[in-house]
Each structure stands twice: as structure tokens, then as C-alpha cells.
Structure 1
Amino acid sequence: MLTLAEVPDPVPGPGETLVDVEAAGLNFADIERLKGSYLPPELPFIPGSEIVGRTVDGRRVLAFAARAYATKALVKDAVEIPEELPAGAALALLVQGLTAWHLVRTAARIAPGESVVVNAAAGGVGHLAVQLAKEFGAGRVIGTASTAEKRDLVLGLGAHAAIDGAADDYAERVIEANGGAPVDVVLDAVGGPVFDAALYALAPFGRLITYGTSGGTNPAPLDPGLLSERNIAVGGYWLGAHLRLPGSTAAAALTELIELTTSGQLRPMTGGEYELGQAGLALADLAARRTVGKIILRN
């Protein structure tokens, strides 16, 4: 239902900057917005929330922006990025990169030497979480993925082991991949039976952090007795709510992610590029999981 239309240029308000959009990033949240299942929009509606672009004074910036599927957009807090950083790689660092950074640093508080499992490790957040967990000192990083091809990709990102992420015998496979010992941390975006199985892969005082439910909601309420019996903790993370908190550390985290990427220590996966007028096709391909890595709309 998306069509390309001519609309007036946005007018900056207090604290806003007009940016010529070089590229806009696509996210699954954009699909949910258009379906009306997540923060239903008022029509007419221009989707998107992240851009790489250039300010009037010539700075190349990365920023969150409402109405991002456009040639011009308004931003408030922008981070300057180097010319050599590809737009797709830069855009992978916003929603996915910041989520992965905070999963490792803020939500799970991974300590040096701890063992970490990243479910859906070939995904947009997962592939970055694998690399960041290792970069920030995890002793052993295990990634789960659904196919042999994806598991090879996860190993290529630096994971010590890659295993099938199916719920059946999940805990046994995780423990085997960790040398016969339960793990300290599981980062989970799958939910459902995988979430339940992951509880039994945790070592005492281990942490399970949930940040998505791509595999469905949990079949039964979480039993508090199970947590105390096993001395484990369950937490959650959502970047959107975090960014609304006063004193957000997003700018500092994003600066570190950019530095790690430009130095080659972090490798965001980039996928296809579509023209702005192909936004509907791009979202359809994303929804059908026909893409790998960050996909963008290019002006």
C-alpha cells in the first residue's frame, strides 16, 4: 500500500535539524506499525525511524528520525560518522547495534570470562551481540541458529560454538557446547518453548535476558519457585523504553559502536539496497525473511 508521493519539506522546530537523507534503515517494527499492531499510525503516514544523511553545514550524520522513508527528515540528536563508513553498516548500529550493546553491557552485565549463549545468533541483533560479547570479555560465546549455513556464519563472526536453536533438547546441546557445564548468560529473542528450555541451561546465578518473542509467547506463566530453586534471574530489555529514560547513554554507546566498526573489530552484516520508491517491496522481502543483514532505502 506504500506509494511515493510529493509532500512539503519538513520545517525544523526547536532543537531540530533538517537532514538530506542518504539512506533509511528498515526494521521489523516498521512492518508492525503499518499493520497497525504496534503504535497504530494516523494516515497519511511516512514510515521509518533511522537515517544516514547530511546536514545543511555538510556533516554526515547517523540519527533516529520520524518519517525516515523520505528525501528529507528532521533529527534531534545526531552522531557524526566518517565518510568511509557505509550507510548500511552505520544503520545497522542504531536499533540493532544499540540493542546488542545494552544487552551485553546493561541488561546482562556480562563479566569477563563468563559463558554466553546468543539465540538467533545470525539475526540483526544476534550477530552483533555475538561479536560484542566476545569483544567485551566473555570467556565462551555460543550462538544458536536454525540452519547449517547460518551456524557457519555465526562461527565466522567469532563464536566458539554454534548449535541448533530448536527447543527440543536445547539445554542439553547448550551444556555440551559449553564443555559439559551450564552457562552464565542466555540472550533470547525467540521466546516460547526456547525460553522455557533456556532456563534449564543456566548455571546458578545465571541470567536469561529476553528481548523478543519471534518464536511465540510462553506457553505457561513463569514459576517464581523455579528461579529461587535454581538461583537464576530473568530480565527483559527494550531499546525504545530505554531511550526515553533521562540521561540515556545512547550517544556514548553509539560512538563506541562506530569506533569498533571503523577499526574492523565489529562487522555489521549488510544486505540489499532498494530505491526509495521500492519501500513496499523492501518491506515485503524483509517480512518474508528473504533478506540477510541490514537492508536500506537509498536516495
Structure 2
Amino acid sequence: MRAIQITEFGGPEVLNEVDLPDPVAGPGELLVDVSRAGLNYADTHQAENSYLSKMELPLVPGGEVVGTAGGRRVVGLTNFGGYAEKAVVPEATAFDVPEGVDDLTALSMVVQGATAWLLLRKSAHLEAGESVVVHAAAGGVGSLAVQLAKKWGAGRVIATASTEDKRQLALDLGADVAVDSTAENMTDVLREANGGRRVDIVLDMTGGAVTDQSIAALAPFGRLAFYGMASREQPTPVEPGRLLVHSTAIAGMWLPHAFRLPGGVVHRAMGELFDLVLAGELRAVPGGEYGLSEVRRAHEDLRARRTTGKLVLDPSR
């Protein structure tokens, strides 16, 4: 089968197209004929071995696929192996795709959609009327989080994005206001965007100064849900005593941990997300399709923050 393999860690240059034997599914696993694989910012960390779970070489990267397995159409998560014509997916992280949901939308829901759901429901515990800041609002998670926050009763959704086109997309998706993510002082920008008031919730995957300044913008009992570090810059360590100043909270969220929760939380999230899609109340934003031969360009685009919405990989070309 055609696949992308890396034999040394690094940037886009380490992604090489190769021919490999088909993988073999074991007990409790599905062998999926991949129609599309998801491209995520986390994949760039996987390629350089800076992700939360450490990788071993040689490695076929990619953590999400959609396709067919034994007559079923499924979308699923795999630790690695997604950038290929065939992939093995654990049954526990596979979801049947309802009729009427296309490949891109299915892939958008399984990582980005579930992440947005969990951030708002479990990490930030959104309550009706609260203000919600969505950083990188034109991205895969951000574009869905804007829509979900608005649907679930947020009083004011404040989007941040780096270009006018991205800010307009966030507004089109339901954000009440969109501000420049490259602003020098994000604390002042967020408070101004919220009518001079501190904000209740921030969804942050940036890191560095943006995280520091977002924490400083939180209202009493405000919450920052942290789920990535696209800037590759660590925020300033927060002493617990600083949280008392405004009774604020900081939560981290990594999707794999959600599968350990009792009650099938991720399956419940996926069911709700697919229902919203089928009802026309939630839409995925297409961000571009790449062939296997274009995977280096895809990673370059991701790292340069040139993308919006959901990116997918077509293993057939």
C-alpha cells in the first residue's frame, strides 16, 4: 500500500512516500480502507516527536481516518498510521458514519468536533449568557467551537484570527465580534471586545504570551481551557495563589483522556455532533485536500498557520 513514513524526526522534510505491506488488524480492531485521512496541527508535533505521547521510528503518522471496514462506513482514531491507503483502528475509537454525512464532515467531528464539545461541556462548563473567547477561530476546532458556543447560549462569542478573511469566516459562523490575534496586548483587546468587561471563558491552543494575556483577561470565576501550544512557546508558570485574585481556573484537555471517562462520553459527543450536522445546525469548514504526494506542503501550510477549517489527505493520489 502507499503510505507516508518517517525514519527520522523533524519538520515537513522527513515525510516520505513509500510502499509498505498492508497492516493487520488484531482482536478488537478494524482494518479500514481509507478514503480520506485527517490532517491536524498535532501531526506536526507527531513528526518532530514533540507530542504528548512519544513516537517510535519508523512511523506512519496520522491519527484519524474515514473509510470502510467489513461493509461499515466508519470514522476513527488511531495512534498513528493514518497517512496510508489502509489503517488499523481500535473498535473503541471507531464510530459509524450516518448516511448524509460526508468524509470531510465525519473527520471534522471525530477530533475537532469532539474537542470543541469537551472544551465547552467538560473543561469550561459553559453556562448560558457567558462570554466565550475562541482563539484560532477559523481553524478546525475553533470554527466548530464558535458554532457550538453560540448554539449553547453563550452571551457573546469573541473570535480571534490573524487575517481579515479568517475573522470574517468566524463572524459568518456566528461570532459576535472578531479581533486580530496578532494584537500586542490581548488582555486589553479581549476586554474591549467584551464591552469593557472581563471575559468568562477562553479556549486556547496558542501558548506563550497569548495564554498569559488571556488569563489576565478572565472575570471572577472565569475559566481558561488549554488544549494545545501552536506557538511552541510555553506560557508563564502560574502560581496557585494568582488564581485567587479573580477566582479563576485553568484546565488542560487532551482528547485521548476522554475515552477513559465512564459513560461513553466521546460516543455521546459524537452522537450529538452528528445530529446537529444532519439538522443543518453545525457545519464543517473545508480547508483543503492534499494527495499523499503533497503531504509536505500540507505540513508547511499547517505550521505557517495558512489554513482554515478542516484539512484532509487523499491516499489515492
Question: Please, which of 263, 268, 279 is the counterpart of residue 295 of structure 2?
Answer: 279
Letter in 2 for 1:45: L
Matched, 1:68 2:67: no
| C-alpha distance in 1 between matches for 2:295 and 2:180 | 33
Residue range with higher mean Cα deviation, 282-291 or 91-100 = 282-291
Question: Please, which of 145, 148, 164 is the counterpart of residue 161 of structure 2?
Answer: 145
| C-alpha distance in 2 between matches for 1:148 and 1:4 | 36
> How far did residue 246 of structure 1 move?
5.3
| C-alpha distance in 2 between matches for 1:290 and 1:117 | 21
1:51: which partner in 2?
Answer: 65
Question: Please, which of 167, 178, 190 is the counterpart of residue 162 of structure 1?
Answer: 178
| C-alpha distance in 1 between matches for 2:215 and 2:282 | 29
1:24: which partner in 2?
Answer: 37
Closer, same or farther: CA 231–42 of 1 in aligned 2, 3 Å? closer
Q: In the TM superposition, what whole-angstrom CA distance separates every residue of 1:65-88 from its partner, at most 9, and x where no partner exists?
A: 331112222222321113432212
1:182: which partner in 2?
Answer: 198
2:234: which partner in 1?
Answer: 217
Give the alignment's TM-score, normalised by structure 1: 0.91
Letter in 1 for 2:294: Q
| C-alpha distance in 2 between matches for 1:165 and 1:40 | 30
Letter in 2 for 1:185: I
> How far did residue 256 of structure 1 move?
1.3
Question: Please, which of 180, 184, 197 is the counterpart of residue 213 of structure 2?
Answer: 197
1:251: which partner in 2?
Answer: 267
Matched, 1:115 2:128: no
Percent identity at matched positions? 51
1:41: which partner in 2?
Answer: 55
| C-alpha distance in 1 between matches for 2:164 and 2:276 | 28
2:19: which partner in 1?
Answer: 6
| C-alpha distance in 1 between matches for 2:221 and 2:296 | 46
> How many residues in Structure 1 have an aligned counterpart in Structure 2?
297
Matched residue SS, 1:187:
strand
Note the residue ranges of structure 2 that are not aligned, 5 or more in a row.
Answer: 1-13
Question: Please, which of 263, 280, 286 is the counterpart of residue 279 of structure 2?
Answer: 263
| C-alpha distance in 2 between matches for 1:291 and 1:249 | 29
The 8 Å contact of residues 167 and 194 in structure 1, kept in 2 or not, is answered as no
Matched residue SS, 1:283:
helix
Matched, 1:235 2:237: no
RMSD, aligned CA: 2.0
Note the residue ranges of structure 1 that are not aligned, 5 or more in a row.
Answer: none
> How far did residue 28 of structure 1 move?
2.0
Letter in 1 for 2:185: D
Closer, same or farther: CA 275–146 of 1 in aligned 2, 3 Å? closer
Closer, same or farther: CA 139–88 of 1 in aligned 2, 3 Å? same
> How far did residue 192 of structure 1 move?
1.7
Matched residue SS, 2:66:
strand
| C-alpha distance in 2 between matches for 1:82 and 1:276 | 27
